[in-house]
């Protein structure tokens, strides 16, 4: 019963969804047949494989390991990656395809699931950008198909967004590097087969950082599950490297040239988080409207009270403004703008989207009252999950404070 209710409240299929004026789905699908196909593919996977189970997976604290391969078989997991390593159509994806993937997955309002299911979205690009043909052949195919999983290990307990101040070290000894240090807040780390690890191989600052492929079974690698406020089905992990001997052949690219790929990865991650946060805010808005239409107080539906309608209008205003910013950035990227050069705008977009999510999660909770305080698959299930995830969206991938400072520096203020 709970699963059926979760599916009803966690899907936005065309058959049962009102066509409100902030619905951008049709516009995005109309870009090309391949965009429409991807939207249908992802939504089908969400409706049939994810939505009926997400409430249970949140309570269990994880999801089945084979979900990676099921996502690949559904055409969701491998799209956009090189076809020679098992990538699936569309063969020439653009930024709007990335928008669609993040937008549709966010309908679940459970950011921990895509964060741990699609860890290859941030752990694989450095392999493809820096890896040798032999390294790509060894790792990319299994990771893209979901047979193996990889997590990105950058953040450290004392560093956060200050990547240049990294303390994890990799010291060359013959044909090996000796890796020592600790990484934390690693999404999907408990289930990862590999870690794409950043470590200091040179002097202080940006130019002394390198990237390595580290196997979980290497002696000296230990993982510890973190208990988090939200993202309950994401296995957020602390990974410790204690005198781990890594073959020199597992160095990705040249020594001391790992910083720039990390930064470009952050931009992509922030874009995806902003798109997802905006869609989650929209879900809060839409669930609040559905409930306000049927819940009666003082002899009339909640929606009949002006104060409730104004709450809904304020949520819609925030969602529309945020989506407008995301659409502007996406159009610029689709037109050839470089993601690195738009990093200031992306930083502001992440702040805008996560603040919108925070506002809408609160206001929708007020509309649903106690129903939004209950975990599970009820009418407030998505809103309750969103409220728990507000902080991780505001902090993960770069906190509001770091993002605002980055934007001012990019603007050369």
**For 265-309, what is each residue's pLDDT tens digit?**
888 999 999 999 999 999 999 999 999 999 998 889 999 999 999
CA end-to-end distance (rounded Å), the chain: 56
Q: Residue 30 above 60 pLDDT?
A: yes
**For 114-164, how does the pLDDT look when each residue is reduced to its tens digit (9 = 90+)?**
999 999 999 999 999 999 999 999 999 999 999 999 999 999 998 766 777
Residue 354 CA from chain centroid, whole number: 13
Reported as a pLDDT band with limits 50, 70 and 90, residue 4 is: very low
The pLDDT, as a whole number, for residue 19 is: 60
Six-digit token pair at 12?
A: 């936005």
Q: How much is the average pLDDT of 179-203?
A: 96
3-state SS, 191-212, equals: HCCEEEEEEECCCCCHHHEEEE
Q: pLDDT, tens digit, for every residue of 39-58?
A: 999 999 999 999 999 999 99
Residue with tokens 């909640």: 302
- What residues contact residue 98 under an 8 Å CB cut-off, 6+ apart? 80, 268, 271, 272, 275
Q: What percent of the chain has pLDDT over 90?
A: 82
Cβ(220)–Cβ(165) below 8 Å = no
pLDDT single digits (tens) 328-387? 999 999 999 887 778 999 999 999 999 999 999 999 999 999 999 999 888 999 999 999
Contact between residue 398 and residue 406 where contact means Cβ atoms under 8 Å apart: yes
pLDDT of the residue at 20:
77
Q: Return the pLDDT at 23.
A: 87
Question: What pLDDT was estimated at residue 18?
Answer: 62
Average pLDDT for residues 16-31, to the nearest whole number? Answer: 81
Q: What's the CA gap between 348 and 352, in Å, rounded?
A: 6
pLDDT tens, residue by residue, 49-95: 999 999 999 999 999 999 999 999 999 999 999 999 999 988 789 99
In the prediction, which pLDDT does 160 show?
65
Confidence (pLDDT) at 5: 40
Q: Write the burial class of residue 413 (CB in 10 Å: 0-12 exposed, 13-18 middle, 19+ buried).
A: exposed
Burial of residue 256 (CB within 10 Å: 0-12, 13-18, 19+) is: middle
Tell me the pLDDT of the chain averaged across its residues. Answer: 92
The per-residue pLDDT for range 211-252, each reduced to its tens digit, is 999 999 999 999 999 999 999 999 999 999 999 999 999 999
């Amino acid at each position: 019963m709970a699963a059926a209710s979760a599916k009803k409240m966690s899907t936005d299929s065309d058959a049962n969804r009102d066509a409100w004026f902030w619905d951008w789905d049709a516009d995005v699908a109309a870009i090309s047949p391949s965009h429409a196909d991807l939207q249908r593919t992802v939504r089908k996977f969400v409706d049939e494989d994810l939505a009926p189970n997400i409430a249970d997976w949140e309570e269990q604290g994880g999801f089945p390991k084979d979900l990676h391969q099921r996502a690949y078989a559904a055409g969701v997991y491998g799209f956009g990656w090189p076809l020679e390593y098992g990538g699936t159509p569309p063969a020439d994806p653009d930024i709007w395809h990335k928008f669609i993937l993040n937008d549709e997955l966010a309908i679940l309002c459970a950011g921990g699931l895509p964060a741990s299911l699609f860890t290859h979205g941030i752990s694989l690009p450095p392999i493809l950008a820096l890896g040798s043909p032999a390294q790509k052949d060894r790792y990319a195919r299994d990771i893209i198909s979901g047979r193996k999983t990889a997590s990105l290990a950058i953040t450290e307990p004392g560093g956060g967004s200050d990547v240049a101040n990294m303390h994890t070290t990799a010291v060359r000894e013959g044909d090996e590097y000796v890796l020592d240090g600790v990484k934390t807040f690693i999404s999907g780390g408990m289930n990862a087969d590999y870690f794409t690890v950043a470590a200091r191989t040179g002097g202080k600052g940006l130019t002394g950082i390198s990237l390595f492929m580290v196997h979980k079974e290497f002696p000296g690698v230990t993982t510890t599950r973190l208990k988090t406020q939200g993202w309950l089905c994401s296995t957020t992990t602390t990974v410790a490297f204690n005198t781990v001997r890594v073959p020199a052949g597992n160095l990705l690219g040249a020594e001391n040239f790992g910083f720039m790929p990390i930064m470009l990865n952050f931009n992509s991650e922030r874009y995806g988080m902003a798109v997802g946060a905006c869609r989650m805010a929209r879900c809060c808005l839409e669930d609040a409207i559905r409930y306000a239409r049927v819940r009666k107080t003082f002899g009339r539906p909640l929606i009949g009270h002006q104060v409730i309608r104004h709450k809904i209008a304020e949520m819609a205003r925030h969602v529309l403004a945020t989506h407008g910013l995301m659409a502007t950035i996406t159009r610029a990227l689709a037109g050839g703008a470089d993601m690195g050069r738009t990093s200031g705008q992306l930083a502001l977009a992440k702040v805008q989207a996560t603040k919108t999510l925070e506002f809408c999660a609160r206001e929708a909770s007020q509309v649903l009252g106690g129903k939004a305080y209950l975990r599970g698959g009820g009418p407030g299930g998505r809103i309750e999950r969103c409220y728990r995830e507000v902080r991780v969206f505001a902090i993960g991938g770069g906190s509001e404070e770091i993002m605002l400072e980055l934007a001012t520096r990019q603007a050369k203020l």
